[in-house]
Structure 1
């Protein structure tokens, strides 16, 4: 069951926004998302939060500036998702602009696991780095930082994940979520933290006269990378993150982007001149992530740091091929998982814990997300990792902080979870295979104790009805140009329609012709083949459909029920 709930839009806020020059429809949508004034829609660079508020960033800038002046060798230790790849690319490109000698290392996730581990330090040591810089990881790398110290290697941690009870004894930690950090935006992605660190480093180098007599590097040129990593990591798009994404999209639409970003748009068949957050989250991000899931994320990083357009195009095609392979593996795993779940009544459970011996550990996170969407339950999918161990990836629903739930598991059963980490909505963990039944039982009990039963019923918030006069391309383009994402949801409307025609495409997508008043509308619901009633109450997004060079509006149905 899905409840369609309209978002309230405070009338005074709507009026203020309209009086400040905001389009009336956007004013209603923004007010429903808590926007009170036009200032919160200022996406200029001058509206960005200053780096100085980020704890550790000044010390990191001083350490890195000293290293550059000394000709020290730096090595970035990257993570294997899109956020990690873009953060690494920002670091490589910025540090090389500053004259640093810098390389990168991105460990194979299946062989070395996550974060700066002692094994990764041993892998890095032969490269003789003087400084290790982590991006999108490191806040939990207590043992890895200790191992680096034993080798005489300095460590700079740049991360955004929530810290554990013990912080690594790094030379510097830059993380808005570390204790004592007063940076107002706790939702920076890993790439955002690295971008801020590079801004502080440039300011430090400027103060030291490093740019006297020469052109100062323009770090704004890297905002296409920052925007991609921020959207793909599904962090909350607070005002500061919306600025970063808006500035990146502005540059992409103006054809001022890295060759790798341009190549990824080409491989995905998307028009960069009309780039949206949807393109980043569902077209570019998955192609980069496919490298980390099935192969080696260094392929994705090379795509983002090369200045050779031909090479970028070749790599983007490889990434596209990996993404198709990833989708095939995921579809097979999902089909098997759903067959096993047919006998389960999720209404009797607060969570789902799944494992199949032949599942691919690179795709279990996506699988967990798909199953979570279907059953609206916090879901953890496990695959085999090291001998005798299972690696799990979890996805949550509103109302349950997944990392906190796993933290409670570790406190109630010390030793049951070998390691874990993550966010409110996504987390990863490792357990022993023999402990799976005990973990499942304990996790179910903890989720049941933490979650409000009302949160186990899916709710779909909408922005109400759309006026008949707004069912047009102009409205669709207006909404398409705005910044939407996690915590700042894209507009979803709802209304009652008469169904004039319907058919199933490719055995799984329902295509409909709807009528509202005198207006006929094309609509589609993906991965839904059940027939619609003659009259439906539908929740939908307004989109632009491009076919044979002709543009038209189409309703993308999120949910419908008999009216």
Structure 2
């Protein structure tokens, strides 16, 4: 058995709805199944979703205060007064700033922008920075992607004599700032049709309202900010990203071309994953480490050389960020392992001096991904006496709510169920850590601590082809609220398996249903190759893609998880060098030896605890390593039936094999008995070697036959001298314990040690799969 790494949650199939969608919309069967699994049953609704167009773009003036904001901005433009766009240091804030600046400049505004520094100004409105803006001559501040919680700062700006417009998408508080206009898709007094816009989405609405034109040219920035900010990709967000990606692929914008170049991305192949994993991290790196202003400058410039220089700067900063994250993550993991070992608590809180607070959120995500525990990573500042950090959670642990229970320890925090930011005195860190562990034990079950995998569609290999996979592009873009589908391919046989990559840490499989085959690649899953047996039947979950090599296209599955039901047999027979197979044995395995002398030998050779069958704990014996041969199949049956293992490693060592020696046949026994009768007596120990050479036998064969005759009463033995008994009883050779013992020994070696893998599996399977018929099946093999 191979247990999956995650809990698979498979959607209920709706074959009727899928077929209805397929026929009505001309979709591939796989695409139709995906939509049906996501709750689309009406073809018109499904068509509107996947073929979304500008008809889904809502009138920007449906937003509360949009008319006030437009009038105020236009008034400042007409009178030539300066306008400051106050942005934010993440990708959403950077692109929001870009969109609004382009709109203002296109109208001839005297406009400039400022981006707060995470370390100097913190997040959101900052009174000191507002004062700098005022001193630069601004009479109007327009915030983008922030400001909804800046009550005191807005009041300060008003006291300076500036007008203030807030455009934001974060959660409004109970009391809103006293701004001249607040543009927010979820304004408490508004009724805008779609409340999930990113900050850049709100900026696009303002740009549309200001210019009177749909902001098509700015959709390239809208797509980047929307994907990077992880807002749900439906309604207007889906439109922004879908149209924006298409424009990103063909734009002549120097910033996009430069970003594509430093990211090693082919511009015509840009998609949502490009944004999320290539563009977004590079833009965010500036704000995480310092000043994000160069990112806005890159997007606004029309000079290709300047854009290239700034993109390289983003790329360099991202490399710094990657190294910093890796270093802090290594320290955090070492801290966890040193503190807890294998007994990882329900909630993890780690803290360190010198950690950059701008990247601890990424580290928290890595910790949560590695251990699947709610995680808090804190950067300690001993001079200020504070700990500042980020939290990431898992399903079942509402991070904001659980932090709120510790409000006396954490004076400053904010967030939502899955993530949060927090600042607290250093002396409260230990108590917070202990409190959260207790809270985690109260609210999280053991099942909650197993990561989940939502499987959308179960497929057969017959359904997987190039055309069907290509058709899935029509369902994109994928993201929050409409994740990339996960497919399950059940009960397939593994035709081949191997580890790939320079470090052999990736997995390559070929699987088959008997008629069709599929290549499977699992990055970082090379360890699973050690768990696959030659006869393995597996169920796979992952993402369908097309592998193109030398002009040839083949379907392949990018593996996310794998499982196999039933027991497994691993064949390590004949492997004399323990070092070749011992490292592949799971830590929880129980090493079993049937014979006492084997216990001593393997305890010395392996350093492992070796038990005999009578000492076995059935509950903890799901993985067995059978080190030596039992004396009989009954002995093996007793062992396996007592614990029903899911994994068996068969070594079956014997100090000296008797299988190839064989048993003397009756003709040999007849000749030897006639020889003894003629001689009357024969000294086996002195003359047996010479007789053996004469007959081409081994000396052991002579000794064996003599012993059999003695046990049957055919000869007497005294001091090595065999004397024939007159008129011996008529008895069969099998009545000799020595004869029958060797016969059993050879049979057990043939059955367990020298049989082909499939035959050995059938023998063991007759015990594990059908105990009631085990004896009948075993007899067939011996």
Q: TM-score, normalised by structure 1?
A: 0.89
Q: How does 1:55-74 map to 2 (within 5 A)?
A: 55-74=64-83
Q: Specify the alignment match of 2:116 in structure 1.
A: 107
Please say if 1:196 is aligned against 2:198. Answer: no
Q: Is the contact made by 1:59 and 1:172 (CA closer than 8 Å) also made in structure 2?
A: yes
In the alignment, structure 2 segments of 5+ residues that lack a partner are 566-782
Shift of 1:175: 1.8
Does the aligned pair in 2 maintain the 1:76–1:132 contact within 8 Å? yes
Q: Distance in 2 between matches of 1:68 and 1:444?
A: 56
Q: Distance in 2 between matches of 1:146 and 1:320?
A: 38
Shift of 1:443: 4.4
Contact persistence 2:33–2:457 (CA under 8 A): no
- Indicate the larger mover: 533-542 or 66-75: 533-542
Is the CA contact (8 Å cut-off) linking 1:106 and 1:297 kept in structure 2? yes
The question of 1:29 aligning with 2:34 is answered yes
What residue in structure 2 maps to residue 392 of structure 1?
389
Which residue is equivalent to 1:438?
431
Alignment partner of 2:544 out of 526, 542, 545: 542
**Equivalent of 1:137 in 140, 143, 146:** 146
The structure showing larger relative contact order (alpha-carbon pairs under 8 Å, at least 6 residues apart) is: 1
| Equivalent of 1:457 in 428, 441, 450 | 450
8 Å CA contact 2:30, 2:463 repeated in 1: no
Q: Give the aligned partner of residue 48 of structure 1.
A: 57
Q: Give the deviation of 1:90 after TM superposition.
A: 0.6
Q: How many pairs are equivalent?
A: 545
CA distance in 2, matches of 1:548, 1:109: 47
Give the aligned partner of residue 468 of structure 2.
Answer: 475
- Where does residue 17 of structure 1 map in the other structure? 21
- Max Rg structure: 2
Q: Is the 8 A contact 1:75 1:105 kept in 2?
A: yes
Instruction: Find the counterpart in structure 2 of residue 503 from structure 1.
Output: 499
| Native 8 Å contact 1:43 1:247 kept in 2 | no
Q: Is the 8 A contact 1:287 1:322 kept in 2?
A: yes
Q: Deviations over 1:495-527 (max 9, x none)?
A: 244161221524374131221234444433334
Say if 2:238 is the partner of 1:242: yes
Cα deviation per residue 1:399-440 (whole Å; 9 max; x = unaligned)?
A: 445445444543xx2xx4343333443322222222212333
Supply the distance in 2 between the matched residues of 1:21 and 1:334 (Cα, whole angstroms).
Answer: 48
Residue 454 of structure 1: how far off its partner (Å): 4.9
Counterpart in the other structure of 2:286: 291
Structure 1 equivalent of residue 180 of structure 2: 171
Q: Retained in 2: the 8 A contact 1:509–1:525?
A: no
Change (3 A) 1:238 1:447: farther
1:229 equivalent in alignment to 2:215: no
Specify whether residues 474 and 287 from structure 1 end up closer, same or farther in structure 2 by C-alpha distance, changes over 3 A only.
Answer: farther
State the alpha-carbon separation in 1 of the partners of residues 439 and 169 from structure 2. Answer: 26
Deviation at residue 249 of structure 1 after TM alignment: 1.1
Q: Quick check: 179-188 or 443-452, which moved more?
A: 443-452
Aligned counterparts of 1:547 and 1:283: Cα–Cα separation in 2? 23
**CA separation in 2, counterparts of 1:450 and 1:224?**
43
Deviations 1:250-292 (A, max 9, x none): 2123x13532122212211112212211111111111111111
**1:440 and 1:309, CA in 2 relative to 1: closer, same or farther beyond 3 A?**
same
Name the CA distance, whole Å, in 1 between partners of 2:341 and 2:68: 54
Partner Cα distance (2:548, 2:312) in 1: 23
Post-superposition offset of 1:446:
5.5
Other-structure match for 1:561: 563
Contact 2:56 2:235 in 1 (8 A): no
Cα distance in 1 for residues equivalent to 2:182 and 2:403: 24
- Does residue 1:334 correspond to 2:336, yes or no? no
